[in-house]
Structure 1
């Protein structure tokens, strides 16, 4: 039987609040990634201790990262997904636990990514624009336009330069799968992408990527609000010496939207 709060000690109440406010956990900052800090600073097995759903990339930006159902997947240059090894590392990732407290929304046809953003933004307006949100959408997609990147060699170039030569794009047609999405409020611009960031993986966990376009026939949204944030900063020299405030907002927009 659940105990009434007044019967609990201060320590027990604090522990309960902590459990019920699962944080977003992040490795490094988007600014560092944009500027070319591709050095893996956290092992995948460590990242999975902090969340079962999320996204990011790998050391040397060797493929997009999709975390779903407690498993981490690397998206290869041809769009294939392979499960990451525990000792693989990431220079940038965001994860959280998707719990049964998540809001559920049933969606019909969504013709574009912009329309999906609008639908999700309406919910954010109702729930609070200054929180973070983790979203998973399971559905059937007419089309998903996605990308990944090829592994880089030192000296690392800025991410926007990498995309000019080593971005790989592909489209998936008539596919069941899941979108993993994060929303970060505008005041965290640079720490992460302001607004929405979407990754995709199909239902059989064989293909995926960073999403910059879609048409969804129907889907079920699970949307979880978070008001706690934990960030692990890298200890490498590239991070210690970087002037992160100089990261280009245009580059961030290009990287996210695929323009």
Structure 2
């Protein structure tokens, strides 16, 4: 395998989850967009407690370094588009509908801690062999299968371009399984399929190189119907 380099972030998809971290199979559970600036995934780690055995004369008889505990990732997504569909999925707050039944806005009500969303990110790979091996190129694929406590940060409207910030935290466990999407090749013919191995119950993120192109940006609700949804 070559040494792929991340060129730049490309596309993000979010998927609505239920209270157990399972994808909600419905016509309005997905959303794909590319109008974002950055996605930060900051590790949240408890350093643990060090144990020292010190004699009365001050000599250190023994020492054991505390074992760090990984709590998950605190995410910060900076984006531009004020989409009611996107905000509905990531915050759990209700959209506002127009006369034709289409969402035209959103309400800020509460922080929904009993639901969540999955977040997928595709980043382009700078790899001179990508087009030789795959017809469509290659991407680094990031999956955060369960993000909770989605809340919007500060918003300032003025003469400059406005950027919105979404904050949230990952959880382990959940029911993403192999996922409801085709995101990786499952044979030498580059046939797209779901994850070949489900995510472990203690995992917060999965990252791999894929030759399956990211989904098309539509800026509208996307149906979630394949993969694990077919077995439900």
TM-score, structure 2 normalization: 0.26
TM-score w.r.t. the length of structure 1 is 0.24
- Is the helix fraction higher in 1 or 2? 1
